[in-house]
């Protein structure tokens, strides 16, 4: 059994980690932290988790008193800056880290500081960390001490563009990502724009001038194919709870490419990427509560513009599920362990 700790277990990604790890056959939850809720039973905070044997006695504890060094892996479901502050001490004790925030996603400390408005606390550890998108970095994840779990938008967008950029069949200098997210992507917090009466029956773009996930996507796609990647990325907030829908556009440079075959071949062995039949239109509810990314490939009027549709659940494949997928790889388990539950519909 893998001894597991979670730092920051009251947010949406924290409770999603609890939901998945509580029924994982090889995970033993040892500690979960929350300064505000210290002493509160997990099942009292989240009645949806009542009756799960692993959580029957589990209570939130203050991070300063939790035995995180007694764990084999610690997940950080916290704001940016928390994981890097504790990373050196934990890795020094032999603990592996999976950070669901951005502390270990960007390889350039200056770029991290630009986007997240804080200096990086341990650039030496940043240099050894692995970006946790298994479909791109599986072998490195297996050997990693520190994994930076990808963001939700970057997961859908990179998986959507990857086969074309990798194969060199599109112009990488003119990629466009038009992506939509449910409100849970902003986290569990009181904020005016996320209130029901503000977000319901409404649809809007935000951060058009520059979203912090932009640099993460470009970093991930650069170097996997010929040419430098330039991306226009526009995020939108939609009146739903879960889901990312990314509509991606790229100009083809090879007229004879069979895009459907390209995608089916690239993802044939991937347990959590589903390339749908030609003409499909995946929707967000088809992946709700699952670790699956569904992709559909289009080439309108047989022209030179590829349109790729990619959907994920932002809390699962876009966060907690992918983090568990990374844990499985880091500890030599079958990648699908604990992640095979089908999506929830409706």
Give CA–CA dist 99/146, Å, rounded: 8
Are the CB atoms for 72 and 145 separated by under 8 Å?
Answer: no
Strand arrangement, sheet containing 60-61: 60-61, 27-33, 2-7, 73-76, 96-99, 146-148, 130-131
Among residues 119, 80, 75, the alpha carbon closest in space to that of 103 is found at 80
Give CA–CA dist 132/203, Å, rounded: 31
Give the DSSP H or E segment for 159.
helix 152-167
Give the DSSP H or E segment for 155.
helix 152-167
Are the CB atoms for 296 and 309 separated by under 8 Å?
Answer: yes
Q: Is 152 a catalytic residue?
A: yes
The active-site residue, picked from 71, 122, 152, 293, is 152
Are the CB atoms for 272 and 317 separated by under 8 Å?
Answer: yes
Helices 152-167 and 134-142: crossing angle in degrees, nearest 10, is 100
Are the CB atoms for 59 and 40 separated by under 8 Å?
Answer: yes
* DSSP notation for 193-232: GGSHHHHTT--EE--TT--THHHHHHHHHTTSSSS---EE
| Catalytically annotated residues | 152
């Amino acid at each position: 059994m893998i001894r597991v700790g979670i730092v920051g277990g009251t947010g949406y990604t924290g409770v999603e980690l609890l939901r998945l790890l509580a029924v994982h056959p090889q995970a033993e939850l040892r500690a979960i932290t929350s300064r505000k809720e210290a002493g509160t039973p997990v099942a009292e905070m989240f009645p949806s988790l009542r009756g799960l044997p692993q959580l029957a006695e589990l209570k939130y504890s203050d991070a300063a008193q939790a035995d995180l060094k007694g764990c084999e892996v610690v997940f950080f479901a916290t704001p940016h800056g928390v994981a890097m502050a504790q990373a050196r001490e934990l890795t020094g004790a032999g603990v592996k880290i999976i950070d669901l925030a951005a502390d270990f996603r960007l390889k350039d400390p200056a770029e991290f500081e630009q986007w997240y408005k804080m200096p990086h606390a341990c650039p030496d550890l940043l240099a050894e960390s692995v970006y946790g998108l298994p479909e791109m970095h599986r072998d490195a994840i297996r050997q990693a001490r520190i994994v930076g779990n990808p963001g939700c938008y970057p997961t859908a967008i990179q998986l959507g563009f990857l086969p074309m950029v990798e194969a060199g069949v599109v112009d990488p200098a003119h990629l466009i990502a038009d992506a939509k997210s449910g409100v849970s992507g902003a986290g569990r917090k009181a904020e005016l724009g996320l209130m029901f009466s503000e977000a319901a029956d409404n649809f809007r773009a935000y951060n058009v001038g520059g979203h912090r996930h932009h640099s993460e996507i470009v970093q991930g796609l650069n170097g996997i194919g010929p040419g430098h990647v330039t991306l226009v990325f526009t995020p939108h907030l939609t009146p739903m709870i879960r889901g990312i829908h990314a509509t991606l556009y790229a100009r083809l440079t090879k007229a004879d490419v069979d895009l459907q075959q390209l995608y089916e071949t690239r993802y044939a062995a991937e347990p959590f990427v589903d390339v749908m039949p030609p003409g499909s239109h995946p929707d967000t509810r088809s992946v709700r509560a699952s670790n699956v990314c569904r992709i559909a490939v289009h080439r309108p009027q047989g022209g030179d513009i590829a349109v790729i549709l990619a959907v994920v659940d932002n809390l699962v494949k876009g966060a907690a599920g992918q983090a568990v997928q990374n844990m499985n790889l880091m500890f030599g388990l079958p990648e699908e362990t604990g992640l095979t539950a089908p999506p929830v519909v409706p």
